[in-house]
Amino acid sequence: MKQIALLGFGTVGLGVYEIINLKRGAFFSSNDAPAKVKWILVRDINKRRTYKPTDCTLTDNFQEIINDDEVDIVISAMGGMEPEYTYIKEALKRKKHVVTANKEVICAHIDELTNLAKENGVKLYYEGAVGGGIPIISSIIETLKINKITKIQGILNGTTNFILTKMSKEKADFAEVLKVAQELGFAEADPTADIEGYDVMRKICILASLAFHTHAKTEDVHLRGISNITLDDVNMADSMGYDFKYIGQALLKDDKYSISVTPVLLPKDSVMCNVNQEYNVIMLYGDIIGELCFMGKGAGKDATANAVVSDAIKAFTEEDTQKHINFNETAHSYGLSGIKNQYYIRATVNNYEQFESTIDCAADTIKKNNLTYTNSKVFFTTELINSSDMLALYEKLKTVSEDVFYARMEHNLL
């Protein structure tokens, strides 16, 4: 029987323990189950817990775990960069397989940790780091055996998708919906990582790193959050036949990549526009297979625990499925250069002078536009323009209006 050490006993850790030791998972349901959790690392061993396991040992000392030669697999479910990064490295060096759902660690150190696992003849799996229960990591790895992946796009955060869905369906403003999301447990008390895009940024970087065989860095990501989307924007989008979605996108062109995480306007009849509430959807584009689409619950105790345990099963039952994965390419980011899109723009103007200055700024960049003025706000939609020109226009508009928002209008998604 394989022995597992579980680092962390929060929401995901408890879910993992239940599937394995409490035999919720079919693979572990028999009396001769192939693996069990032997150790659980916790921060405070004396903390009062709703449920305290009796069939394994709780410890607050990682050295007890790492020095146990019977431990075959370390499942890391703590969160945050440290001490999890250090623990993962130490486990790999001690020739123990590692499974983690920590997107922060994997995003920052995917190349280093992958190479460390290979050097020590063990496996590193991280399906739960992206997409919750959606098997997107393993799907990319399989697709890469034959295909060159040139594009990844998707809704990668359930919290922001829940917020945008509620705003659209119920015509509610951002602050009101965020409060509901927090009350229902979809959003944290501090929602910054979700609504400002850091969560999606890490996830799309992990996917891009895998797909493009290079370590995609977060500093290369064009990142914009959703907190300044207003009900006026939602209503204007609705009148044009669009809804807002928060999209992570990674493109590969001529061995250079571009990664963005931004609000996007999608036609209401598109598939991705109709993925609502806490669900995620991810699309891949392979040069041979074409377009692939994956959808499911992107977060939550059971969805993430399912992905983590699935990785653990692979670790002790299968040959290494990631031998062909490497990060040896030296691709660089080309930012927004050369990318053309149509855009929606909204600027608040408090007087005629601001109105006139806003129009003049836009006229310098946009040759044709549709303009609407209502409730002291100017709304534009542009023709196809370079993304770098749009960013420059946004910076100019901010000098004449204290309230400016823009979003890409996408027509080529499924």
Active site includes 203? yes
- CB burial of residue 200 (10 Å; 0-12, 13-18, 19+): buried
Instruction: Quickly list H helices, 220-293.
Output: 231-240
For the chain, the first-to-last Cα distance in angstroms comes to: 45
Closest of 217, 216, 215, 210 to residue 324, by C-alpha: 210
Tokens 């669009």 correspond to what residue? 242
Candidates 2, 203, 245, 297; catalytic one: 203
For 52, other C-beta atoms within 10 Å of its C-beta total 10
Cα distances from 31 to residues 24, 34, 308, in angstroms, run: 13, 9, 22
Instruction: Quickly list H helices, 48-130.
Output: 62-66, 84-93, 103-119
Peptide bond into 267 cis (omega under 30): no
Closest of 25, 83, 119 to residue 312, by C-alpha: 25
Helices 84-93 and 103-119, interaxial angle, to 10°? Answer: 10
Tokens 């250079």 correspond to what residue? 256
Cα distances from 17 to residues 8, 12, 41, 60, in angstroms, run: 10, 9, 12, 17
- CB burial of residue 276 (10 Å; 0-12, 13-18, 19+): middle
Question: Is the dihedral angle over the CA atoms 351, 356, 357, 362 positive or is it negative?
Answer: positive
- Annotated catalytic sites, by residue? 203
